[in-house]
A and B are shown apart, each in its own frame.
With several copies, the nearest count.
Chain A
């Protein structure tokens, strides 16, 4: 019998070794698997290479992992944000390595790793600093650069719901990198709001088939949902808002 549910985040992430390459889903805070990251911090693995679109927001999640000094290098497309002070400080002081990748190359390189593609040619980045050193090839009269797949030891992703086979569905734009990262890692760990009985997810609407998922951790329903329905009442960071502050929300 297949049962990929795991008792807790701590035991699920215990397989992450020092020096591992870890993909972390999410786009900014949206879809970021914060509970798995917290468990990874507690687990203590060091010298990690992190693959994420960004480089952390505020002081939680990926930012906390960086602040804890566990990240040797980050591969991302958009580190500099209004609330990326943790990364900014460590980058400026030379304590973290940055590999900057155009977002489409990041996504496609991750997909290539999952799809068994050895490399691909893309026009993105041609003639720019971010393609320096990349092999150039003219195809159909257009210049392309050769990009290689991006594999990971472990992927930590966030989804809405799973079944015990590891089939996943996501919610709105929190889907983002989760489905491709799940395909590109040797071990994929998903945190979900809930595990539903096998057969309850619509086979036409499963986004990540369970074959790509190794471990599922239930973290409880996100604060802006109640029994699966959107109730709101939070700010963009997911924090509850008092009534008098609602005017400030855009």
Chain B
């Protein structure tokens, strides 16, 4: 058995935690994939910040509508029960605390819940933030979905973010390819381990000490 789950398995794992009736925003990139794994028996309403509540999957070939896109500018569809609104109304919805869950990618998450996901601060890099800062402060639960380590092997769970912050103390839970972590008052708590990973191994990989989560599956 592998010590990591695949990107699709991770998306499915996040999807499994989203309850029936939830209003959810999926960030651009990997989080968008969560939509493909939402349990069919649950009605979950997807929000896209460019002005739609009730977003459906990608259209069939030939039925692409350039007037109907998601936050990543990809073609999507509307479901029965959808509603359109303008950008200020859309962000009022996000910032006013009405979304139950948002799922975001991350460069780093700190053990106090700080999130860095919009800029590596590199010289010559072009910064782009979009709606990430609004989701980070606005959603009732902020889930991060990411690999535990970068391709270079650096941990993304850290004591304090070195990259520019997206939001302060905003992350609720981190879904990684090796484990699920809750952000608690005392730091990261291992909620669930995947495959052969052990807490000791994850502590060594990240250089952090984890606390035991209440109701953790591992």
Please list the residues of chain A having a beta carbon within 8 angstroms of any beta carbon in chain B: 1-2, 27-31, 53, 77-81, 84, 87-88, 91-92, 98, 100-105, 107-108, 110-111, 113-117, 122-130, 143, 163-165, 167, 170-180, 183, 198-199, 201, 203-204, 206-207, 209-212, 222, 224, 230, 232-238, 241, 246-250
Once the chains bind, are A176 and B87 in contact (CB under 8 Å)? yes
Top-4 shortest CB links A-B: A199-B80, A104-B134, A115-B92, A116-B95
By size class, the interface of chain B is 35 or more
Once the chains bind, are B129 and A180 in contact (CB under 8 Å)? no
| Bound CA span A167–B52, Å | 13
Once the chains bind, are A114 and B92 in contact (CB under 8 Å)? yes
- Known pairs A1-B20, A102-B133, A178-B86; A173 contacts B91 (CB<8 A): no
Once the chains bind, are B83 and A203 in contact (CB under 8 Å)? yes
Please list the residues of chain B having a beta carbon within 8 angstroms of any beta carbon in chain A: 20-21, 23, 43, 45, 47-54, 58, 61-69, 73-75, 78, 80-88, 90-99, 114, 119, 124, 126-134, 137-138, 164-168
| Bound CA span A143–B165, Å | 15
| Bound CA span A199–B77, Å | 13
Q: Is chain A's binding surface mostly helix, strand, loop or mixed?
A: loop
Contacts of A237 in B (CB 8 A): 66
Contacts of A179 in B (CB 8 A): 86-88
Once the chains bind, are B67 and A171 in contact (CB under 8 Å)? yes
Once the chains bind, are A230 and B65 in contact (CB under 8 Å)? yes
Once the chains bind, are B94 and A104 in contact (CB under 8 Å)? yes
Once the chains bind, are A235 and B73 in contact (CB under 8 Å)? no
Once the chains bind, are A246 and B73 in contact (CB under 8 Å)? no
Once the chains bind, are B20 and A198 in contact (CB under 8 Å)? no
> B56 to nearest A CB, angstroms?
11
Chain B CB within 10 A, most for which of A115, A117, A233, A248: A115
Once the chains bind, are B165 and A173 in contact (CB under 8 Å)? no
> A165 to nearest B CB, angstroms?
4
> B192 to nearest A CB, angstroms?
27
Instruction: Choose from B84, B94, B137 the contact partner of A175 (Cβ within 8 Å).
Output: B84
Once the chains bind, are B164 and A28 in contact (CB under 8 Å)? no
- Known pairs A80-B126, A211-B23; A183 contacts B92 (CB<8 A): yes
Contacts of A81 in B (CB 8 A): 73, 128
> A24 to nearest B CB, angstroms?
13
Once the chains bind, are B45 and A175 in contact (CB under 8 Å)? no
Once the chains bind, are A204 and B69 in contact (CB under 8 Å)? no
Contacts of B131 in A (CB 8 A): 77, 102-104
Once the chains bind, are A180 and B165 in contact (CB under 8 Å)? no
Instruction: Choose from B75, B84, B86, B96 the contact partner of A115 (Cβ within 8 Å).
Output: B96
Once the chains bind, are A79 and B128 in contact (CB under 8 Å)? yes
Once the chains bind, are A209 and B53 in contact (CB under 8 Å)? yes
Once the chains bind, are B82 and A28 in contact (CB under 8 Å)? no
> B124 to nearest A CB, angstroms?
6
Once the chains bind, are A114 and B61 in contact (CB under 8 Å)? no
Contacts of A172 in B (CB 8 A): 52, 65, 67-68, 78, 84
Once the chains bind, are B94 and A211 in contact (CB under 8 Å)? no
Instruction: Choose from A116, A122, A128, A246 the contact partner of B166 (Cβ within 8 Å).
Output: A128
Name the residue of chain A whose CB is nearest to the CB of B125.
Answer: A80
